[in-house]
């Protein structure tokens, strides 16, 4: 809609469906019955419907979950979760936030129960075992079958054959 009037014959009246579509695409509040010049009308017609489809995919429950998560992190004294990350960085950010929350919860439980927080931390042996398993997985992925079988024998004896097969 232009502040100046265009030729009255060339103006196009907006119906309800188009008004809804236009309001989703632009910030201006356009009402049914208002008129558009041909240039604006063709411009809006050429805009992809992908913008509308993205809006239809929007789910408010995701925003509610993020709001609840932010409130939880705030109550723990942690920084809120950011959502504007590239797809490749999301897993790294999620792991960092989980570790931050785990540390905050551990500290809070230790403070509440008058226990040293170092006693509640995960054991070093567990961390070492996880690191060894990751190194073995990397070696298995690049080794031939004979070397892979030798490496798999390094799996913990408490693991079943099924767990070992799933892990490697």
Task: Indicate if 104 and 143 belong to the same structural domain.
Answer: no
For residue 122, CA distances in Å to 96, 127, 167 come to: 16, 8, 21
Indicate whether 149 and 111 sit together in one domain: no
Classify residue 77: in a domain, yes or no.
yes
Q: Are residues 115 and 84 in the same domain?
A: yes
Q: Tokens 């579509």, residue?
A: 21
> What six digits make up the tokens of 152?
């798999």
Same structural domain, 72 and 106: yes
Distance CA 19, CA 100 (A): 47
Q: Is residue 2 part of a domain?
A: no
Q: What is the mean pLDDT of the chain?
A: 79
Has residue 164 got a pLDDT over 60? Answer: yes
The answer as to whether 135 is a domain residue is yes
**Residue 14 backbone phi and psi in degrees, to 5:** -90, 130
Q: Is residue 158 part of a domain?
A: yes
The answer as to whether 153 is a domain residue is yes
Same domain, yes or no: 37 and 16: yes
Per residue in 119-153, pLDDT (tens digit) is 776 676 778 888 899 999 999 888 899 999 999 88
87 & 38 share domain: no
Q: Are residues 149 and 115 in the same domain?
A: no
Read off the pTM: 0.40
Taking only the tens place, the pLDDT of each residue in 4-35 is 555 667 788 888 877 777 777 776 677 888 88
On whether both 90 and 106 belong to a single domain, the answer is: yes
Are residues 152 and 106 located together in one domain of the fold? no
**104 and 73 in a common domain:** yes
**Where residue 74 falls among pLDDT bands split at 50, 70, 90?**
confident
Domain that holds residue 144: 127-167
Same domain (yes/no): 132, 111: no
* Backbone region of residue 17 per phi and psi (left: phi > 0; alpha: psi in -120 to 50; beta: other values): alpha
Give domain status of residue 92, yes or no: yes
Please count the structural domains in the chain. Answer: 3
Tens of pLDDT, residues 49-73: 555 445 545 566 767 888 888 888 8
Give the pLDDT score at 146. Answer: 92
Do the domain assignments include residue 80?
yes
Per residue in 87-108, pLDDT tens?
Answer: 888 888 888 998 899 888 888 8
Domain membership flag for residue 139: yes
């Amino acid at each position: 809609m232009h502040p100046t009037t265009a030729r009255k014959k060339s103006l196009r009246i907006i119906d309800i469906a188009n008004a809804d579509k236009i309001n989703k695409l632009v910030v201006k509040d356009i009402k049914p019955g208002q008129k558009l010049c041909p240039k604006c009308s063709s411009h809006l017609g050429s805009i992809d419907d992908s913008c509308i489809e993205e809006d239809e995919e929007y789910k408010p429950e995701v925003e509610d979950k993020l709001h609840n998560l932010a409130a939880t992190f705030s109550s723990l004294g942690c920084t809120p979760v950011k959502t504007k990350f590239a797809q490749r960085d999301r897993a790294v950010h999620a792991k960092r936030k989980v570790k931050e929350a785990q540390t905050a919860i551990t500290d809070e439980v230790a403070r509440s129960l008058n226990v040293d927080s170092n006693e509640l931390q995960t054991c070093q042996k567990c961390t070492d075992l996880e690191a060894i398993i990751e190194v073995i997985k990397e070696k298995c992925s690049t080794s031939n079958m004979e070397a892979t079988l030798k490496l798999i024998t390094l799996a913990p004896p408490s693991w079943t054959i099924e767990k070992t097969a799933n892990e490697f």
